[in-house]
Amino acid sequence: MGGTSEARGLAERLAPDGRFEAMLSFAGRTSSLADPGVPYRVGGFGGVGGLCEHLRRAGYRALVDATHPFAAQMSRHAARAAELLALPLVRLEEPPWQPMSGDRWLEVSTLAEAAAALGPVPRRVLSTVGRLEVGAFSAAPWHEYLLRAVDPFEPPLPRARVIAARGPFRVEDERALLERERIEVVVSKNSGTRSTYAKIVAARELAIPVVMVRRPSLPEVTRVPGVASALAWLEAVHGASRT
């Protein structure tokens, strides 16, 4: 179950490995999918029951939850399906970013809180929370929003522009963007993803505040922090020795 750069990285490692037969599942949130190198499917399963039926019918022997940390419902469905089918499950995720010296973070728990945290005075805002959730900022329409997402979309805000871009991003490019657009505050989810961390570094270097949305709580399952660890887990679970 994918949707992150870590999921794609694991797929690329598994593609030439004859010990495994992998399928990568996307939720279908983006239209411009790059070929992951392994067979893939797009779309939901129809709840826990549909996921169980899909896993059972295809005879899968392991489930890797590499969905976005904010796709909490999918992670809950994965944990429940694995429990019902007695299927080995691992959660592949990078740890959340931690504030460092020089960071000016305001941590919030919801996007509604993020919108409120921008304050009553108009500001120039870079938001990278994704196209499906920018509607939360309708509660603060007086700000100038620069909305970055993988796919272009029509913004639901009166004072907004959209730029379509896919990571990984470089610090120097992110710094140039923030300076060129005269950004006064960044809004980000705490994905922990290395490919999008550059904006946090650039904001730190420019002393720009960041409204950081905390991760939701996810099921307590086995977790590994990277592609190499996920591959090692698969090898351990199925006794697939390296050749």
Average per-residue pLDDT for the chain: 93
**pLDDT for residue 243:** 46
Q: What is the pLDDT of residues 96-114, one digit of tens each?
A: 999 999 999 999 999 999 9
CB distance 157 to 138 below 8 Å: yes
Q: Which two tokens stand for residue 51?
A: 């996921």
Residue 165 covered by a domain: yes
Q: Within this chain, do residues 46 and 76 fall inside the same structural domain, yes or no?
A: yes
Q: Which two tokens stand for residue 216?
A: 């939701």
Q: How many CB atoms lie within 10 A of CB 14?
A: 23
Judge whether residue 241 has pLDDT over 60: no
Q: Give the number of domains in the chain.
A: 2
Q: Within this chain, do residues 90 and 126 fall inside the same structural domain, yes or no?
A: no
Query: Of 9-13, 144-148, 205-209, 235-239, which gets the smallest average pLDDT?
Result: 235-239
Q: Within this chain, do residues 74 and 154 fall inside the same structural domain, yes or no?
A: no
Q: Within this chain, do residues 152 and 227 fall inside the same structural domain, yes or no?
A: no
Q: Within this chain, do residues 80 and 163 fall inside the same structural domain, yes or no?
A: no
**pLDDT for residue 31:** 59
**pLDDT for residue 33:** 66
Q: Within this chain, do residues 118 and 204 fall inside the same structural domain, yes or no?
A: yes
Residue 20 covered by a domain: yes
Residue 100 covered by a domain: no
- Average pLDDT of the residues in 56-78: 94
Confidence of residue 29 (pLDDT cuts 50, 70, 90): low
**pLDDT for residue 36:** 80
CB distance 114 to 211 below 8 Å: yes
Residue 148 covered by a domain: yes
Separation between Cα atoms, residue 121 and residue 45, nearest integer Å = 44
**pLDDT for residue 199:** 98
Q: Within this chain, do residues 45 and 62 fall inside the same structural domain, yes or no?
A: yes
Q: Within this chain, do residues 207 and 228 fall inside the same structural domain, yes or no?
A: no
Instruction: State the pTM of this model.
Output: 0.85
Separation between Cα atoms, residue 191 and residue 215, nearest integer Å = 7
**pLDDT for residue 239:** 79
Q: What is the pLDDT of residues 112-149, one digit of tens each?
A: 999 999 999 999 999 999 888 999 999 999 999 999 99
- The pLDDT > 90 percentage for the chain reads 83
Q: What is the pLDDT of residues 35-57, one digit of tens each?
A: 788 999 998 899 999 999 999 99
- The pLDDT > 70 percentage for the chain reads 95
Q: Within this chain, do residues 159 and 204 fall inside the same structural domain, yes or no?
A: yes
Instruction: Output the domain CATH number for residue 140.
Output: 3.40.50.720
**pLDDT for residue 125:** 98
Separation between Cα atoms, residue 184 and residue 172, nearest integer Å = 17
Residue 243 covered by a domain: no
**pLDDT for residue 167:** 86
Q: How many CB atoms lie within 10 A of CB 11?
A: 22
Residue 32 covered by a domain: yes
Residue 39 covered by a domain: yes
Q: Within this chain, do residues 109 and 89 fall inside the same structural domain, yes or no?
A: no
- Average pLDDT of the residues in 75-102: 96
Q: DSSP readout, 159-188?
A: TEEEEE--S---HHHHHHHHHHTT--EEEE
Q: Within this chain, do residues 118 and 61 fall inside the same structural domain, yes or no?
A: no
Residue 143 covered by a domain: yes
Three-class SS state of 147: strand
**H, E, C per residue of 32-63:** CCCCCCCCEEECCCCHHHHHHHHHHHHCCCCE
Angle at CA of residue 28, ends 24 and 33, nearest 5°? 70
Please give the residue range of the domain that contains residue 232: 5-95+217-238
Q: Within this chain, do residues 230 and 198 fall inside the same structural domain, yes or no?
A: no
Instruction: Output the domain CATH number for residue 55.
Output: 3.40.50
